[in-house]
């Protein structure tokens, strides 16, 4: 009979310990060790049980390795292919994380449909839904491909056996926290089960050259549940983000061994599923009013992609002894700093005012390049002055009131020109860097926040 023992695993790094300790000896995190019962068994390497045969790998000199063009598998979604660096790489293990209900399963089911129609068989393994539930979801998304095979099971060994028989073009696991292997006597979703299941999937997709996408749940802190080493084992880590009450979804790459981590994909959630948003700036500015104070337009970078978004502010006399500062989609600490700079460097009285700021569309903007436009929106509502509707304000504001340079200024300006903006107030350092002057637009450089206010409201 196999020997059963109790060990402690670290939720952060996956380190194993024979006894409980308040601080993990490997990563130094506190209160991350959890107790699990494991069974010591010998891992077999039979082809039917693991999808891998006898290990015959031998070392090869680096110059002797033959280079061949790797043909990526296109998903036919330009936003996804951009994030992945051109498509799915054969033999890659990819991890997709996101909040519950954000659309992870919907996104992968749609990708499975397009890959099945254009490339070959796709095996979709779900441990969270039955076959009937998957069929209901597919009917809602208008998915009905003969080459899209689904299996509702949580036994990873059986799923790998089926995948070995079918040799699909793509394998999808939904989700890794529901999978288990009988070699480990622990509950599905535990540290040991997640680590072992991911290890077997990694071995399988590399040796069989079958790309695999696994869905990972996230904790309340926003990290993927399970040991942190899970993200180190896979080739690509993707996060699907967005507010459930808004229609916009953002796909970003946190790790990508086959491409850049600066690209992002933007989608909208509609009744029939997720659709690509080719021009997010136009959608975000569609309902903007031209004659209201407290509104300004800024351009922030989502990775390397410039996106125009409207920021709004509301300044009202406080009815309490301590004025309120509320920020939605913007860093509250940066807002407090901006208010202090406006009061000290520009002479505006804000100590007795409640200040509320909001970024339209449910987006979260943390880029310092948006400081100046946020400050202009606050002053616009404070003085009841309207910002010109065709003006873009960009710049990072320092504590001294100076306006500092920002990256990719020409790329931002070119994006705004497509939507009809003709006036730009930018840092003086960026103004000197512009190589080509366009007579159709007016660009002004500023060195201080006070100078920017004069140009906007003069």
Q: Binding site: residue ranges?
A: 98-105
Three-state SS string over the chain comes to CCCEEEEEEECCCCCEECCCCCECCCCCCECCEEEEEEECCCCCCCHHHHCCCCCCCCCCCHHHCCCCCCCCECCCCHHHHHHHCCCECCCCEEEEEECCCCCHHHHHHHHHHHHHHHCCCEEEEECCCCHHHHHHHHHHCCCCCCCEEEEECCEHHHHHHHHHHHCCCEEEEECHHHCECCCCCCCCCCHHHHHHHHHHHHHHHHHHCCCEEEEECECCCCCECCCCHHHHHCCEEEEEECCCCCCEEEEEEEEECCCCCCCEEEEEEECCEEEECCCHHHHHCCCCCCCCCCEEEEEEEECCEEEEEEEEEEEEECCCCCCCEEEECECHHHHHHHHHHHHHHCCCCCCCEEEEEEECCCCCECCHHHHHHHHHHHHHHHHCCCCCCCEEECCEECCCCEEECCCCHHHHHHHHHHCCCCEEEEEHHHHHHCCCCCCCCEEEEECEHHHHHHHHHC
Residues belonging to the binding site for ATP are: 98-105
């Amino acid at each position: 009979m196999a020997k059963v023992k109790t060990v402690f695993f670290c939720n952060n790094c996956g380190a194993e310990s024979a006894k409980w300790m308040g601080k993990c000896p490997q990563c130094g995190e506190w209160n991350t060790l959890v107790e699990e019962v494991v069974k010591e068994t010998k891992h077999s390497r039979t082809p039917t049980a693991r999808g891998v045969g006898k290990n015959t790998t031998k070392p090869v000199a680096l110059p002797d390795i033959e280079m061949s063009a790797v043909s990526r598998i296109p998903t036919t979604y330009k936003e996804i292919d951009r994030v992945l660096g051109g498509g799915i790489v054969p033999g890659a293990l990819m991890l997709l994380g996101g909040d519950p209900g954000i659309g992870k399963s919907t996104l992968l089911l749609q990708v499975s449909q397009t890959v099945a129609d254009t490339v070959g068989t796709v095996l979709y393994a779900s441990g969270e839904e039955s076959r009937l539930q998957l069929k209901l979801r597919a009917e809602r998304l208008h998915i009905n491909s003969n080459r899209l095979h689904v299996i509702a099971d949580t036994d990873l060994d059986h799923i790998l056996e089926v995948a070995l028989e079918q040799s699909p073009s793509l394998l999808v696991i939904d989700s890794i926290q529901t999978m288990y292997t009988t070699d480990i006597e622990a509950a599905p979703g535990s540290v040991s089960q997640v680590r072992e299941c991911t290890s077997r999937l990694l071995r399988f997709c590399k040796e069989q050259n079958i790309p695999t996408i696994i869905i990972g749940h996230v904790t309340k802190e926003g990290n993927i549940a399970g040991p942190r080493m899970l993200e180190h084992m896979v080739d690509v880590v993707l996060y699907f983000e967005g507010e459930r009450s808004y229609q916009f979804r953002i796909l970003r790459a946190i790790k990508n061994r086959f491409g850049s981590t600066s690209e992002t994909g933007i989608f909208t959630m509609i009744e029939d599923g997720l659709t690509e948003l080719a021009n997010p700036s136009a959608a975000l500015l569609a309902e903007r009013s031209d004659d209201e104070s407290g509104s300004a337009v800024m351009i922030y970078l989502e990775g390397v992609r410039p996106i125009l978004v409207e920021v709004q502010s509301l300044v009202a006399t406080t009815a309490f002894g301590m004025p309120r500062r509320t920020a939605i989609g913007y860093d509250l600490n940066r807002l407090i700093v901006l208010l202090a700079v406006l009061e000290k460097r520009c002479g505006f009285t804000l100590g007795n005012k409640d200040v509320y700021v909001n970024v339209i569309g449910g987006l979260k903007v943390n880029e310092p390049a948006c400081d100046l436009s946020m400050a202009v929106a606050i002053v616009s509502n404070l003085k009841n002055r309207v910002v010109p509707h065709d003006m873009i304000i960009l710049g990072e504001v320092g504590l001294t009131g100076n306006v500092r340079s920002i990256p990719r200024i020409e790329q931002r300006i070119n994006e705004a020109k497509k939507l009809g903006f003709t006036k730009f107030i930018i840092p003086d350092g960026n103004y000197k860097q512009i190589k080509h002057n366009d007579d159709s637009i007016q660009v002004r450089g500023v060195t201080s926040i006070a100078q920017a206010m004069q140009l906007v409201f003069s």
